[in-house]
Amino acid sequence: MKKTLFFCLMLASAFAGNSQTYPANLEQLLKEETPKVISWRRYFHENPELSNREFNTCKKIETLLKEWGIETRIVAKTGVVGVLKGGKPGPVVALRADIDALPVEERNELSFRSKAKGDYLGNTVSVMHACGHDTHISMLLGAAEVLSKIKKDIQGTVVFLFQPAEEGSPGDEEGGAPLMIKEGALDNPKVDAVYGIHISSSGDLGKIYYKSASFMASSDWFTIKVKGKQSHGASPWKSVDPIVVSTEIVQALQTIVSRQTDIVKAPAVITVGKFHAGVRANIIPEEAILEGTIRTLDDQMQKDIHQRIIQTATKIAEASGAKAEVVIDTKTLVTYNDPELVAKSITSLQKAAGGAENVLPITWQTGAEDFSFYGKKAPSFFFNLGARSPKLTAAESTSHHAPEFMLDDSKLDVGMRAFCNLVLDFAKNN
């Protein structure tokens, strides 16, 4: 009996020691901030800017952070790093939001829909926040203002990363997370952990979705140039037809996943999205070009698939008397959520979402994120926030990157709360 009582007292003591208390005014501050978050979201949605061209977005973010007494510096051309030093010594936690939009023409009846235009590789295009980065900016701004008002209670330092060009820099320009890292966004001060949120148009409104370890796929783009011999279309025997060779390569690439890859370990995708060859119907051309993407969720599998693509293309071409040149360009890494950091962060997310039933584990995602690069510098955790209207089923939800893309922004406070909770709990949990 004494042993049982002693164990119960020790258990109660352990729970008390790990209890997470927040500043008394935090809830009121969050409620007051929520309308601002929605207002900012609609402003940024109506005024989107393309990757590495987020000049006005950058200026507005910088101005607001300075108003709240947060130190700022510009990095990666149009990125903003804010540094908020808490009132107590402790670790450094980074919170990230991407800020760029896409060359997409918006098709809906929103009062704040985008009518913006921009220049993309020399062409005038419509611009739209068709992936929800406007919500990411606003949630992080809301967290920044709230945290600035309770900085005396913060144990450690908060680094706010407002990152440009997540969707990819135009042409050969540098940008995105790699350039943020290259220019020291995680080094001054040195960051101990990085958190990021992505909105989900298909997820249940206000619910948080996550996966420990490998979460989102790496993204590689490939180009295969097949060089043959040109001839008249009436005498194909005088040619080495790069179109026929290329079609064989397209078919064979699909067997790399379906017959050569252990998809029980992790899924993989190879997609040929572009095929260009020839200028006339009666000329067999000299060259054909294939372009596509590779998605993997395991680093070794990524390397293996690269080698198999090179081998498949070159050997098929060689067998037909043609030559294949393969170039593979890695755009993002596997987004890997540090398991220990995830385990220590779940309670913070559950409080933000209103209960454990609103924080749900999910499976792999073949979408890609350049947030993955931050995970090579510090433990990181990236998760999704559902923003589908309750009037729609998941099947009826609009796709990211589509002209009809729509979100319900009434629960953005959940993302803001998550950011605040993660900062306040990190030092206690570590």
What confidence tens digit (pLDDT) does each residue in 169-181 have?
A: 999 999 999 999 9
pLDDT at 5: 43
Question: Which CATH architecture does the domain made up of 217-332 adopt?
Answer: 2-Layer Sandwich (3.30)
Task: Over range 215-221, report the average pLDDT.
Answer: 97
pLDDT at 255: 98
Inter-residue contact 164 to 85 (CB < 8 Å): no
CA angle 324, 330, 334 (to 5 degrees): 130
Locus of tokens 């995105």:
176
Give the separation between CA 237 and CA 225, rounded to whole angstroms: 21
Percent of the chain with pLDDT over 70: 95
Cis before residue 189, ω within 30 degrees of 0?
Answer: yes
Residue 313: partners with Cβ closer than 8 Å, 6 or more residues away: 224, 226, 249, 253, 324, 326
pLDDT at 48: 98
Burial category of 90 from C-beta neighbours within 10 Å (exposed 0-12, middle 13-18, buried 19 and up): middle
CATH superfamily for 24-211+362-429 is Zn peptidases (3.40.630.10)
DSSP state of 166: T
Locus of tokens 């990190």:
426
Q: Name the residue among 121, 130, 133 with its Cα closest to residue 102.
A: 130
Q: In terms of DSSP H, where are the helices of 25-72?
A: 26-46, 55-67
Phi, psi of 419 (to 5 degrees): -60, -45
Locus of tokens 């200028």:
279
Question: pLDDT of 17-26, one tens digit each?
Answer: 344 589 999 9
pLDDT at 141: 99
Type of residue found at 364: W
pLDDT at 21: 81
Inter-residue contact 140 to 413 (CB < 8 Å): no
Q: Name the residue among 381, 428, 415, 369 with its Cα closest to residue 193.
A: 381
- Where in 67-138 does DSSP place strands (E)? 71-75, 79-85, 88-98, 117-120, 123-126
The pairing of strands 123-126 and 359-361 is: unpaired
Residue 174: partners with Cβ closer than 8 Å, 6 or more residues away: 76, 182
Residue 69: partners with Cβ closer than 8 Å, 6 or more residues away: 148
Question: pLDDT of 295-324, one tens digit each?
Answer: 999 999 999 999 999 999 999 999 999 999
Give the separation between CA 401 and CA 404, rounded to whole angstroms: 9
pLDDT at 430: 84
Q: Name the residue among 256, 361, 368 with its Cα closest to residue 312.
A: 256
Burial category of 384 from C-beta neighbours within 10 Å (exposed 0-12, middle 13-18, buried 19 and up): buried
Of 418 and 6, more confident: 418
| Domain range summary for the chain, segments of one domain joined by + | 24-211+362-429, 217-332
In this structure, of 2-6, 80-84, 111-115, 406-410, the range with the lowest mean pLDDT score is 2-6
